[in-house]
Amino acid sequence: MSEPLRLSVIQVTPLRQNCAIVSDETTHRAVVIDPGGDVPRILDTIASRGLFIEAILLTHGHPDHVCGVADLRDALGERQGAAVPVLGPGIEDAFLCAGAGQAGATFGIAGARDIEPDRYLSDGEHLELLGRRIDVRHVPGHSPGHIVFVAQDDRIAVVGDTLFRNVIGRTDFPYGDQRALLAAIRDKLLTLPDDVSILPGHGMPSTIGAERQNNPYLQNLDTL
Ligand SMILES: [Zn+2]
């Protein structure tokens, strides 16, 4: 049995988005999730730790999560000598990915660029990365194509802007849907074991158990 995956965070963009680096410290292989900006800092971290990046994963198409993807993909392709695949989010977020450059500029994200993923992902897919299985679950409502990544054996879930400590993701967008978000959290996240750690897109990590017990939005979900 290999060591558990290491999860580290680099806060990027003026919105302090949690860009995640999930790594196997034995093989020095890693994935980067949601590189929204500040690509030079992400690259410095990767280089200083000697990591090989297998893929860039995206939870959803909001600018603070995707605006650094194009630069990071270019730089890693050159450094590693082969293209690094960009996987996700769900195809329902394609319109956000295509407009990310302009949206990012309005949020003050330096060098924001549009993004075209190599492949959009669907609910129930299993990715083979870092010598493990990483599950993809569709959790719409904050954005229509929002997905989360779950490494069940390592008890880690990277959940983007769906579920936070004591709160849930914003749904006050033209395409936001709080009822859909709550139903998806109930069906796709609260079905995970209590000891699974969750890393949200902003703020502090938590666990499924803590949110099940304490998050005021998640009480009485059976009446949805
Ligand atoms: Zn978002």
CATH code of the domain covering residue 117: 3.60.15.10
Residue 109 lies in a domain: yes
- Answer for the pair 58, 88: CB distance below 8 angstroms, yes or no: yes
* Of 29, 87, 83, 79, residue with least CA distance to 56: 87
pLDDT of residue 220: 87
Q: Which two tokens stand for residue 97?
A: 């990915």
pLDDT of residue 122: 98
Cα(152)–Cα(165) distance, integer angstroms: 20
Residue 187 lies in a domain: yes
CA angle 145, 30, 163 (to 5 degrees): 35
What is the domain count for the chain? 1
* Of 75, 72, 77, residue with least CA distance to 112: 72
Range of the domain at 43: 6-223
Residue 18 lies in a domain: yes
pLDDT of residue 50: 97
Its sign, for the CA torsion 191, 195, 197, 203, is positive
Cα(87)–Cα(218) distance, integer angstroms: 29
Q: From ligand 1's centre to the CA of 184, what distance in Å?
A: 16
- Answer for the pair 114, 100: CB distance below 8 angstroms, yes or no: yes
Residue 78 lies in a domain: yes
Cα(72)–Cα(39) distance, integer angstroms: 6
pLDDT of residue 46: 98
Phi then psi for 109, rounded to 5 degrees? -85, 115
Q: From ligand 1's centre to the CA of 32, what distance in Å?
A: 17
pLDDT of residue 3: 82
Cα(49)–Cα(28) distance, integer angstroms: 8
Q: From ligand 1's centre to the CA of 116, what distance in Å?
A: 17
Cβ partners under 8 Å of residue 121, min gap 6: 87, 88, 89, 90, 127, 136, 147
Residue 1 lies in a domain: no
Q: From ligand 1's centre to the CA of 133, what distance in Å?
A: 25
Q: From ligand 1's centre to the CA of 136, what distance in Å?
A: 17
pLDDT of residue 41: 98
- Answer for the pair 167, 154: CB distance below 8 angstroms, yes or no: no
Q: Is 222 exposed, middle or buried (0-12, 13-18, 19+ CB in 10 A)?
A: exposed
How would you write the pLDDT of the chain (224 residues) with one tens digit per residue? 568 899 999 999 999 999 999 999 999 999 999 999 999 999 999 999 999 999 999 999 999 999 999 999 999 999 999 999 999 999 999 999 999 999 999 999 999 999 999 999 999 999 999 999 999 999 999 999 999 999 999 999 999 999 999 999 999 999 999 999 999 999 999 999 999 999 999 999 999 999 999 999 999 888 88
pLDDT of residue 1: 53
Q: From ligand 1's centre to the CA of 188, what distance in Å?
A: 18
Per-residue DSSP letter, 37: S
Q: From ligand 1's centre to the CA of 27, what distance in Å?
A: 32
Q: From ligand 1's centre to the CA of 26, what distance in Å?
A: 32
pLDDT of residue 137: 98
Q: From ligand 1's centre to the CA of 24, what distance in Å?
A: 27
Q: From ligand 1's centre to the CA of 98, what distance in Å?
A: 15
Residue 53 lies in a domain: yes
Q: From ligand 1's centre to the CA of 58, what distance in Å?
A: 11
* Per-residue H/E/C for 57-99: ECCCCCHHHHCCHHHHHHHHHHHHCCCCCEECCCHHHHHHHHC
